[in-house]
Amino acid sequence: MDLSEEDLLSAIARVLSGAGPEVVVGVGDDAAVVAPGAGQLVLTTDAMVEGTHFSLATTSARDLGHKAIVVNVSDIAAMAASPRFALCALTLSDSVDAAWTIELLGGMREACNEYALWLVGGNLAAGPQVSVAVTVTGEVAPGRAVKRSGARPGDRIVVTGSLGGSAAGLRVAHRGGPLKEGDRPLLEAHFRPVARVGEAAVLSQNEATAMIDVSDGLSLDLSRVCVAAGVGARIRMADIPVAAGATLEEALGGGEDYELLATLPDAEAVTRASVEIKQSFGVALTDIGEIVEGAAVIVTDGASERALEPTGWDHFAAPS
Ligand SMILES: [Mg+2]
């Protein structure tokens, strides 16, 4: 590292300067002090580790900082809560310098501005690999958090936006070479994912019975809802909103799309929510199937149906 820790901390404090009325003591003291909100406190944490979640060769510091905040905000959104505060614990290796670190914090600041939350503190450590661990707190009106376990037989299953774009974007990044037509939105999907905070609020207002953000692929995340609720699901293959340029396999098993998967009590709720989400955010809401009794997650193509394995598309694609 080409700066002392003290110099780096003061540079970071400048990047993160500015605090809202709820921040009583922000970056720079032993701990942050914030005013409690009126609702229930929602907490989540997620770490992005070099070599496992990203590569320094393909990921910019700014995108990494932005994404480290967004993936946590997405989990807050999936509870139908609003993000409030963030903390980050950075481990920096010899492969990065002070400019890289300030860019990383700049990306975090950008995401915090976008989603109206405050980065109130953090920690720096040296280590063999870069790791960006972020904690985000949120707030929800008492009893209004939407859990995974609320899905009931007869509920419609809906998903926001499109799926598979992030996995396809990673494939494009690994391929390298000049960009082809249609590559850019896929790279955006991977490196600049969007947390569906406003969309989650609309789904909650329309009586969403369960909600999860699609971080590990539709197959696995839908199976998590089914296991939590003790129900099964039937989805229609033709209605899965596969991102342009992505494959069905990437949509089902790719992960990191950070779209919302929710269950709604009836078709009228789906119509109301989809109109509102389209009007407010320009984002599609697609009905892909329904919750059923039992435990199996079935995918149908009209003529036949098969079990959708929670590990992804490979099992489904294998000839039986
Ligand atoms: Mg999640």
Give the distance between the most distant pair of CA atoms in the chain: 66
Q: From the CA of 221, how far away is ligand 1's center (Å)?
A: 8
Q: Which of 320, 318, 316 is nearest to 308 (CA)?
A: 316
Residue range 134-155, pLDDT digits in tens: 999 999 999 999 999 999 999 9
Between CA 287 and CA 267 the distance in angstroms is 9
Q: From the CA of 214, how far away is ligand 1's center (Å)?
A: 7
Q: From the CA of 10, how far away is ligand 1's center (Å)?
A: 33
Q: From the CA of 298, how far away is ligand 1's center (Å)?
A: 22
Q: From the CA of 116, how far away is ligand 1's center (Å)?
A: 20
- Is the confidence at residue 196, as pLDDT, over 70? yes
What is the arithmetic mean of pLDDT over 258-281?
Answer: 98
Whether the CB-CB separation of 258 and 164 falls below 8 Å is answered with no
Q: Which residues contact 65 (CB under 8 A, 6 or more apart)?
A: 103, 104, 105, 106, 107, 108, 109, 110, 111, 132
Whether the CB-CB separation of 72 and 135 falls below 8 Å is answered with yes
Q: Which pTM value belongs to this model?
A: 0.94
- Please state, for a pLDDT cut of 70, what percent of the chain lies above it: 95
Whether the CB-CB separation of 197 and 77 falls below 8 Å is answered with yes
